[in-house]
């Protein structure tokens, strides 16, 4: 374990750098530094040698060139195990650099500002910093690389304990972290420039994704699986990634999946009347719209109280005391509650309930917006699927301007009977919900309440049967939404037998005419959307 004698410190994030530099100085280590870092250390009365004294050149090009010089990079890259490398340094009059402490220009925070210009973003692409980090990490057998202020204390303690050295095990760990640091940084730059220069290329040949760990999870879907929760930097749309947890124990892997499903569905109603969504195992088991939020909560829960117990609830309006009372009524229990905000008088009602208040997680997500365009990732074994988000919606002819979806799709009435205005309203409501049900997906709705759901079945008619069974008598006068076309007329026949009066479905089956004929024979109105909403 060789002793560290010379260190280069050049950091954008100056958290903890003064105590770290002071500790190194007290161990007799010569400190080199650049720009703002050098000035900060000098102000703290820590002796430091400016890099330009080592290179013999001043900073150039408004600071773009400071450390890109053989006197720096040869000192970092020389492999101390090779006599010829050390001889080359002596002949060039270059001293080795044994520790490099560098973190990079604040590109992430710069481009997160809504007013940032392209020129400013590009100026915050670090060149010298990543070069030094990669050089030191490559040569970790000889050089210690530190990119994270959280590692300062551990490095100092190890140096003190060993008489000024750092073990190979620690060097390797820090080197791996350093390469992850520069890869993460470059991925953010690539993502930003792709959005700026080629926004039409949603699925490029090489796709880089930057993810930052938000927390380790106790386990994954099952206790024997390890898991962690990662966020995409700079993502600002209301989401579980941007939510603030106000109360309750740590969210589990399955909680996060269900919370995401609940929030994504309730965002479909971001600009609608008060809406309550209840999710169980990523499928909706209760959805209701009402004039008052407490009523929406009660109607959604009573749609399927057995499934709702222990579920995840999401609301499109702030939770007040009256709504909190409904949520915590007798014989209820929810794992998580997601809402734009919570009033002060609602919080005690939600959190101090004797039996289960302490276990309720409260997630505040801010004002809701409709789902935005972008893409989603889905992991397979040894690979990843990438697709654009499913943001298409149907638009009612009288939809207010603030509720206009991303793409207008026209409904086509294919039966002899036209749906009534009331049926059309319920069809569009059910269509929003079925988009978020696992395929094969069927939703029955009546009076702005989802009264039956059939999800994830291997054949569509079984989903219809399950939805009708769940609805019971409430199926009479209900409408039905199907995420994909009906392959056979039996779906219509089962629905009509249960009392369904109108159906919305994509169309496109080779047996469409038989399906339409069955609807006409049974007096069921049917509309085609021309698009499907598979969710596997």
CATH code of 268's domain: 3.40.140.20
pLDDT category of residue 223 using cuts at 50, 70 and 90: very high
- How do residues 140-153 score in pLDDT, each as one tens digit? 988 999 999 999 99
User: Residue 287's pLDDT is what?
Assistant: 96
User: Is 396 inside any structural domain?
Assistant: no
415 and 357 inside one domain? no
Q: Which of 364, 395, 424 is the last residue of a domain?
A: 364
Report the distance separating Cα 308 and Cα 320, nearest Å: 21
Catalytic residue among 138, 177, 247, 396: 138
28 and 168 inside one domain? yes
Residue with tokens 């309006």: 317
User: Is 355 inside any structural domain?
Assistant: yes
Provide CB contacts within 8 A for 427, sequence distance 6+: 419, 479, 481, 502, 503, 504, 527
Q: Specify the higher pLDDT residue, 97 or 474.
A: 474
- How do residues 349-358 score in pLDDT, each as one tens digit? 999 877 777 7
- How do residues 364-408 score in pLDDT, each as one tens digit? 999 998 888 888 888 888 898 888 888 877 654 444 444 444 344
Residues of the chain with pLDDT > 70, as a percent, come to: 94
265 and 342 inside one domain? yes
303 and 426 inside one domain? no
- How do residues 184-219 score in pLDDT, each as one tens digit? 999 988 888 888 888 888 888 888 888 889 999 999
User: Residue 390's pLDDT is what?
Assistant: 86
User: Is 238 inside any structural domain?
Assistant: no
186 and 327 inside one domain? no
Residue with tokens 């020129």: 119
User: Residue 316's pLDDT is what?
Assistant: 96
**Contact criterion met (CB below 8 Å) for 350 and 337:** yes
User: Residue 408's pLDDT is what?
Assistant: 40
Q: Which of 340, 364, 388 is the last residue of a domain?
A: 364
491 and 355 inside one domain? no
Range of the domain at 272: 244-364
172 and 258 inside one domain? no
Q: Is-catalytic flag, 396?
A: no
Output the pTM of the full model: 0.85
For the segment 308-328, the average pLDDT, to the nearest whole number, is 95
258 and 153 inside one domain? no
For the segment 287-295, the average pLDDT, to the nearest whole number, is 96
For the segment 444-457, the average pLDDT, to the nearest whole number, is 94
User: Is 420 inside any structural domain?
Assistant: yes
- State the Cα angle at 327 between 326 and 330, rounded to 5°: 75
Report the distance separating Cα 363 and Cα 312, nearest Å: 11
User: Residue 49's pLDDT is what?
Assistant: 85
Catalytic residue among 14, 85, 281, 353: 281
76 and 151 inside one domain? yes
**Contact criterion met (CB below 8 Å) for 250 and 219:** no
Residues of the chain with pLDDT > 90, as a percent, come to: 57
User: Is 127 inside any structural domain?
Assistant: yes
Q: What is the mean pLDDT of the chain?
A: 88
Rg of the chain on CA atoms, in Å: 30
Report the distance separating Cα 351 and Cα 248, nearest Å: 8
User: Is 294 inside any structural domain?
Assistant: yes
Helix (H) or strand (E) holding 71: helix 70-77
Could you give the strand order of the β-sheet that contains 525-528, starting from the edge strand earlier in sequence? 244-247, 361-364, 334-339, 311-315, 275-280, 283-289, 449-454, 442-446, 479-482, 502-505, 525-528, 412-413
Q: Is-catalytic flag, 281?
A: yes
192 and 263 inside one domain? no
SS3 assignment, position 275: strand
User: Is 84 inside any structural domain?
Assistant: yes
Q: Specify the higher pLDDT residue, 69 or 371.
A: 371
User: Residue 403's pLDDT is what?
Assistant: 46
183 and 107 inside one domain? yes
**Contact criterion met (CB below 8 Å) for 11 and 17:** yes
CATH code of 70's domain: 3.40.50.1380
Distance from CA of residue 34 to its chain's centroid? Answer: 36
Domains held by the chain: number: 3
User: Residue 66's pLDDT is what?
Assistant: 64
pLDDT over 90 at 279, yes or no = yes
Q: Which of 304, 329, 364 is the last residue of a domain?
A: 364
Closest of 467, 484, 464 to residue 534, by C-alpha:
484
User: Is 168 inside any structural domain?
Assistant: yes
434 and 519 inside one domain? yes
**Contact criterion met (CB below 8 Å) for 392 and 264:** no
């Amino acid at each position: 374990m060789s002793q560290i004698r010379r260190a280069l410190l050049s950091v954008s994030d100056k958290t903890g750098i003064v105590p770290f530099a002071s500790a190194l100085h007290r161990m007799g280590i010569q400190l080199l530094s650049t720009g703002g870092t050098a000035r900060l250390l000098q102000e703290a009365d820590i002796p430091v040698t400016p890099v330009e004294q080592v290179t013999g050149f001043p900073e150039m090009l408004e600071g773009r060139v400071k450390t890109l010089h053989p006197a720096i990079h040869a000192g970092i890259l020389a492999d101390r195990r090779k006599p010829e490398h050390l001889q080359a340094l002596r002949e060039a009059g270059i001293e080795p650099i044994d520790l490099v402490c560098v973190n990079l220009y604040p590109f992430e925070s710069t481009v997160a500002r809504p007013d940032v210009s392209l020129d400013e973003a590009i100026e915050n692409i670090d060149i010298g910093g990543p070069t030094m980090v990669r050089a030191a990490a490559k040569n970790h057998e000889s050089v210690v690389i530190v990119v994270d202020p959280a590692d300062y204390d551990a490095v100092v303690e190890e140096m003190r304990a060993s008489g000024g050295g750092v073990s190979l095990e620690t060097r390797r760990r820090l080197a791996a972290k350093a390469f992850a640091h520069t890869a993460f940084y470059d991925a953010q730059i690539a993502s930003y420039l792709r959005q700026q220069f080629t926004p039409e290329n949603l699925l490029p040949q090489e796709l880089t994704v930057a993810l930052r760990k938000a927390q380790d999870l106790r386990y994954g879907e099952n206790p024997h699986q390890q898991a962690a929760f990662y966020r995409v930097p700079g993502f600002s749309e209301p989401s579980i990634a941007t939510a603030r947890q106000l109360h309750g124990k740590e969210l589990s892997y399955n909680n996060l999946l269900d919370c995401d499903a609940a929030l994504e569905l309730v965002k479909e109603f971001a600009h609608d009347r008060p809406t309550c969504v209840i999710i169980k195992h990523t499928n909706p088991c209760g959805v209701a719209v009402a004039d008052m939020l407490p009523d929406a909560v009660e109607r959604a829960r009573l749609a399927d109280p057995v499934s709702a117990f222990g579920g995840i609830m999401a609301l499109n309006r702030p939770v007040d005391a009256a709504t909190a009372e409904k949520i915590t009524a007798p014989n209820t229990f929810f794992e998580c509650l997601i809402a734009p905000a919570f009033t002060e008088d609602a919080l005690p009602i939600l959190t101090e309930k004797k039996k289960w208040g302490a276990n309720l997680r409260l997630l505040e997500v801010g004002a809701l917006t409709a789902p935005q365009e972008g893409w989603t990732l889905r992991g397979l074994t040894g690979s990843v699927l990438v697709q654009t988000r499913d943001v298409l919606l149907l638009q009612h002819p009288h939809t207010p301007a603030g509720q206009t979806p991303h793409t207008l799709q026209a409904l086509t009435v294919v039966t002899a009977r036209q749906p009534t205005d009331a049926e059309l309203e319920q069809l569009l409501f059910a269509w929003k919900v079925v988009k978020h049900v696992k395929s094969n997906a069927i939703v029955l709705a009546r009076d702005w309440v989802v009264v039956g759901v059939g999800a994830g079945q291997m054949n569509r008619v079984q989903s219809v049967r399950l939805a009708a069974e769940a609805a019971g008598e409430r199926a009479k006068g209900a409408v039905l939404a199907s995420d994909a076309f009906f392959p056979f007329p039996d779906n219509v026949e089962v629905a009509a037998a249960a009392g369904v009066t109108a159906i919305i479905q994509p169309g496109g089956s080779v047996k469409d005419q038989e399906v339409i004929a069955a609807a006409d024979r049974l007096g069921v109105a049917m509309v085609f959307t021309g698009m499907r909403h598979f969710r596997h």
